Amino acid sequence: MAAVGAGGSTAAAGPGALSAGALEPGTASAAHRRLKYISLAVLVVQNASLILSIRYARTLPGDRFFATTAVVMAEVLKGLTCLLLLFAQKRGNVKHLVLFLHEAVLVQYVDTLKLAVPSLIYTLQNNLQYVAISNLPAATFQVTYQLKILTTALFSVLMLNRSLSRLQWASLLLLFTGVAIVQAQQASGGGPRPLDQNPGAGLAAVVASCLSSGFAGVYFEKILKGSSGSVWLRNLQLGLFGTALGLVGLWWAEGTAVATRGFFFGYTPAVWGVVLNQAFGGLLVAVVVKYADNILKGFATSLSIVLSTVASIRLFGFHVDPLFALGAGLVIGAVYLYSLPRGAAKAIASASASASGPCVHQQPPGQPPPPQLSSHHGDLITESFLPKLLTKVKGS
């Protein structure tokens, strides 16, 4: 779901931004720093906690819950939350809310139907995450899942005609290398493995999830450019499709078992924690992500990998060997390099070039500068980094 409003959302320029501007410069700067640190903490905790909580819930002894029901429940709770927020925006006027939803959802049905494709892919992606995390250690999944940066970048180049700097291409190669090393470590049998785990199925699920994440994020960005829908409206529309499609997937994959044992079979407090994390974690990130720049988001992703690894050692007896440490280190470095602003990337490239001789790649006189990877369209932040945070609000 959209983490920031498409085109006409007021979420990114709300009262907080206005009040900050009215403060003294020193006070405003201190408040902004606090917000950045809070944003960093929220991003790290949300990135790591969802993966760890799913892994924990799926490996508990006893009856195992149906993953498809958890996906549906998360969509229902997310949609209801967005409906309540829209109700609050209309100052509790039911008539105004009904008229607004009738106009936005039914009258403008073409815009609503456009969201069916990303909603289908997001629903598939959420189910694939359960398969992947059930068959891979949490730390291995967290590292491998950063391939979504690579897929989003490639889809951005193909579908949006984006250009990537040389440093970004190099960081993507570094990212792929790091993930390959981690998977080689996993294939070689690093550490004890439960009998019911299938690393091959886990790897296939996480790769498919990364591909769907990259395509859906870029497609979602492309169709919503110029749209005037608010963040909560887009979340509600995605939630409607997500609930319907999730029910179809439930019936297709586990319909008989759910009908026999019940929708909430195997639900424990840990499972409800997963559902609530999926439902509200992404919405919370949507609120704070506007205070986080690219470097901060890259740093948050790197910290979440470290946190997931440390927690996996404590909770699941995960064994970190030199091969995993090397691969994870390459991924962390690649995420940081990819998230650098283009100006900083050019500075690094210039510094590297000055060490070996004069730079021979210069902008020809009179030629316009190359297009930037990051641009803003209204309140829609169109960056390929961390697509799940920027172009949707989904549990990751």
Angle between helices 116-135 and 231-261 (to 10 degrees): 50
Domain annotation covers residue 307: yes
Predicted local confidence at residue 195, as pLDDT: 54
For residue 105, the 8-state DSSP code is: I
Residue predicted with more confidence, 352 or 254:
254
Measured torsion, CA atoms of residues 328, 188, 214, 178, in degrees rounded to the nearest 10: 30
pLDDT reported for residue 293: 62
Q: Is residue 216, in this structure, part of any structural domain at all?
A: yes
Tokens of 246: 């999730």
Q: State residue 88's pLDDT score.
A: 92
Q: Where are the alpha helices (DSSP H) in the chain?
A: 15-22, 25-59, 67-89, 94-101, 109-114, 116-135, 138-144, 147-160, 166-187, 199-224, 231-261, 269-288, 294-316, 322-339, 342-356, 387-390
Query: Residue 17 falls within a domain, yes or no?
Result: no
Distance CA 20, CA 331 (A): 36
Question: Is 219 part of a structural domain of the chain?
Answer: yes
Mean residue pLDDT across the chain: 77
Take residue 47 and report the two structure tokens written for it. 């990135």
Q: Residue 210 domain-assigned?
A: yes
pLDDT-based confidence at residue 345 (cuts at 50, 70, 90): low
DSSP state of 375: E
Phi, psi (degrees; rounded to nearest 5) at 381: -85, 115
DSSP helix/strand/coil, 348: helix
- The answer to whether position 18 is within a domain reads no
Q: Tell me how far apart the alpha carbons of residues 328 and 334 are, in angstroms, rounded to a whole number.
A: 10
What average pLDDT does the segment 81-89 reach?
92
Please write the tens of the pLDDT for every residue from 23-55.
Answer: 455 676 777 777 777 877 888 888 888 889 999
* Nearest to 274, CA basis, from 39, 49, 24, 6: 49
Please state the domain count of the chain. 1
Task: Determine the distance from the C-alpha atom of residue 283 to the mean position of all C-alpha atoms in its chain, rounded to a whole number.
Answer: 11
Pairwise CA distance, residues 64 & 257, whole Å: 12
CA distance 32 to 30: 5
Candidate from 198-202, 290-294, 305-309 with smallest mean pLDDT: 290-294
Nearest to 118 by CA among 393, 303, 352, 384: 393
Determine, yes or no, domain membership for 174.
Answer: yes
Residue 23, classed as helix, strand or coil, is coil
Task: Identify whether 286 is part of a domain.
Answer: yes
User: What phi and psi values does residue 330 have, to the nearest 5 degrees?
Assistant: -65, -40
When mean pLDDT is compared across 212-226, 300-314, 323-337, the lowest value belongs to 212-226
Whole-number pLDDT of residue 359? 40
Domain of residue 90: give its range: 47-184+196-345
Task: Kindly report the length of the chain.
Answer: 396
Residue 149: count of CB within 10 angstroms of its CB: 27
Strongest mean pLDDT among 10-24, 162-176, 372-386: 162-176
Return d(Cα 270, Cα 111) in angstroms, integer: 37
Give the tens place of pLDDT for each residue, 60-81: 888 889 999 999 999 999 999 9
Measure Cα distances from 351 to 2, 325, 344, 345, 359 in Å. 38, 28, 11, 10, 10
- Model pLDDT, residue 348: 55
SS3 380: strand
